[in-house]
Structure 1
Amino acid sequence: MWDLLNVIGTIAFALSGVLVAMEERYDLMGVYILGFITAFGGGAVRNLLIGVPVSALWDQGTLFTVAFIVMTIAFVFPKILRWTLLHRGVFFDAIGLGAFSVQGAMYAYSMGHPLSACIAAAALTGTGGGMIRDVLAGRKPLFLQKEIYIAWTLIPGLFIGLGWLTGTIEVLLIVVVIVALRLCSVYYGWQLPSRSIEEEHQEPYEKSALTE
């Protein structure tokens, strides 16, 4: 299960990075850099958080090879990925979010960390790579946009951190749920409540201006 989530998340986020790089008209080297950062950036941030040596990242030689092959195919045959460009590659990003958030929570839980660490590991593993990708591409990070994004990582962090998910089928199911919820939040425009301090002070300001 651990290896499966690793492969799914790596492929999905690598393709997400390729799509963003191609939209920004980056050259081949830019595609590789953005793809690798998207695929492995979240894991590096997670390792720093939960006390795993960053050098452990270099032990994933097979995943680096898989990511390289996938990105090369996507660059050479971009038409096969054209259908995923809706909402700037949200499809692949949602798959990476689901797989890596669950994997991050499992990683922290297996090390005996408390619930708070499992939730944080799920959030950072699921969104860290995409955040770095968007910053390097000069875009507003997806997890800061109006559709619900990072909040979905609380689900695997909570359920796994409390020890409620242990079976393979249960883990796969929660990945599917996270992917579906992320896609639905984009399609239906689900949003968390938000407020603006400027709007709250605008009306009193206008009244005082009128009295003057």
Structure 2
Amino acid sequence: MTWEVLSMIGTVAFAVSGAIVAMEEEYDILGVYILGIVTAFGGGAIRNLLIGVPVSALWEQGLFFQIALLSMTAVFLFPNNLLRHWQRWGNLFDAIGLSAFAIQGALYASKMGHPLSAVIVASVLTGIGGGIIRDLLAGRKPMVLKSEIYAVWSIITGAAIGLKLTTTPIELYSLFAIITILRVLSYTFDWKLPIRRLRAN
């Protein structure tokens, strides 16, 4: 598999995730498409702005936009009984997308010669940025900052690439597999970061 295929899987997963959230909030079909596109491409757009990649680079991903639109259309037309299985398979695709996009973002920043901090930020924004924008537009608390461990895996990915711990293709694919597995374990066993509550229950 190539990074393009992995990114394609991530694009589909995030686009469908945005579309399903829009349908849960009872948005119309335009809202479904907008939320799906924002989820799939929002993180990459913010990353590009911060690390100096022209925003116009997004429009060169014509194939990815077409795949995202087809995925959202299919989900919009799916019967409700089929969508019930999304939570099970959607999390797996989301884990794959998170890993692929986090690595992609870190490599972008690293190849441009940015410092470690910028590589980590690029990794995090690419991996979770779209999900944060999706939840904010849907009027929800960002899931990636509240539920199972999520953003931490992007930070680890960025650190591994920024510190040159993974440079060869085999090492990058190994990192991809490790981050994907960690993400799956985190939602399977409900791993969470410490929470301090200031309000009495």
TM-score (structure 2 length as normaliser): 0.88
Q: Is the 8 A contact 1:10 1:96 kept in 2?
A: yes
Contact 2:15–2:68 (Cα < 8 Å) also in 1: yes
- Cα shift readout 1:57-93 (whole Å, capped 9, x = no counterpart): 1111111111111111222224544312259x53443
Cα pair 1:15 1:92 within 8 Å, conserved: no
**TM-score, length-scaled by structure 1:** 0.84
* Distance change >3 Å, CA 86–CA 3, structure 1 → 2: closer
Q: 1:84–1:91: 8 Å Cα contact kept in structure 2?
A: no
Is the contact made by 2:102 and 2:158 (CA closer than 8 Å) also made in structure 1? yes
Q: CA deviation at 1:118?
A: 0.9
Please tell me whether the aligned partners of residues 90 and 183 of structure 1 are also in contact (alpha carbons under 8 angstroms): yes
Provide the rounded CA distance (Å) in 2 between the counterparts of 1:4 and 1:108.
Answer: 21
Q: 1:159 to 1:35 in 2, by over 3 A?
A: same
Structure 1 contact 46–124 (Cα < 8 Å) conserved: yes
Q: Using the TM superposition, name which of 163-172 and 58-67 deviates more.
A: 163-172
Deviations 1:37-66 (CA, angstroms, capped at 9, x unpaired): 000000001011101121221111111111
One-letter code aligned to 2:87 = L
Q: Does 1:186 align with 2:187?
A: yes
Aligned to 2:118: 117
Partner Cα distance (2:149, 2:11) in 1 = 22
CA contact (8 A) 2:3 2:100 kept: no
| Percent identity for Structure 1 against Structure 2 | 57
* Whole-angstrom distance in 1 between the partners of 2:23 and 2:93: 14
Does structure 1 residue 162 correspond to structure 2 residue 148?
no
Q: Distance in 2 between matches of 1:21 and 1:62?
A: 23
Structure 1 residue 32, shift from structure 2 partner: 0.8
Correspondence 1:44 to 2:65: no
Residue 13 of structure 1: how far off its partner (Å)? 0.8
Q: Could you tell me which residue of structure 2 aligns to residue 140 of structure 1?
A: 141
Aligned pairs for 1:7-156 (under 5 A) are 7-78=8-79, 79-85=81-87, 89-156=90-157
Q: Which amino acid aligns with 2:84?
A: R
The alpha carbon displacement at 1:171 in A equals: 2.1
In the comparison of the two structures, how many residue pairs are matched? 198
Shift of 1:148: 1.0
CA distance in 2 between partners of 1:155 and 1:81 (Å): 32
Q: 2:176: which partner in 1?
A: 175
In structure 2, C-alpha distance between the alignment counterparts of 1:191 and 1:67, rounded to whole Å: 30
Amino acid at match of 2:174: L
How large is the RMSD of aligned CA atoms in angstroms? 2.1
Stretches of structure 2 lacking an aligned partner (at least 5 in a row): none
AA matched with 2:86: T
Deviations 1:109-159 (A, max 9, x none): 111112111111000110110000001111110121142111111121011
Shift in alpha-carbon separation, 1:198–1:110, aligned structure 2, 3 A: same
> Structure 1 residues 59, 95: CA separation in 2 closer, same or farther (over 3 Å shift)?
same
| 1:180 Cα deviation from its structure 2 partner | 2.2
Is the 2:148–2:192 contact (alpha carbons within 8 Å) kept by the matching residues of 1? yes
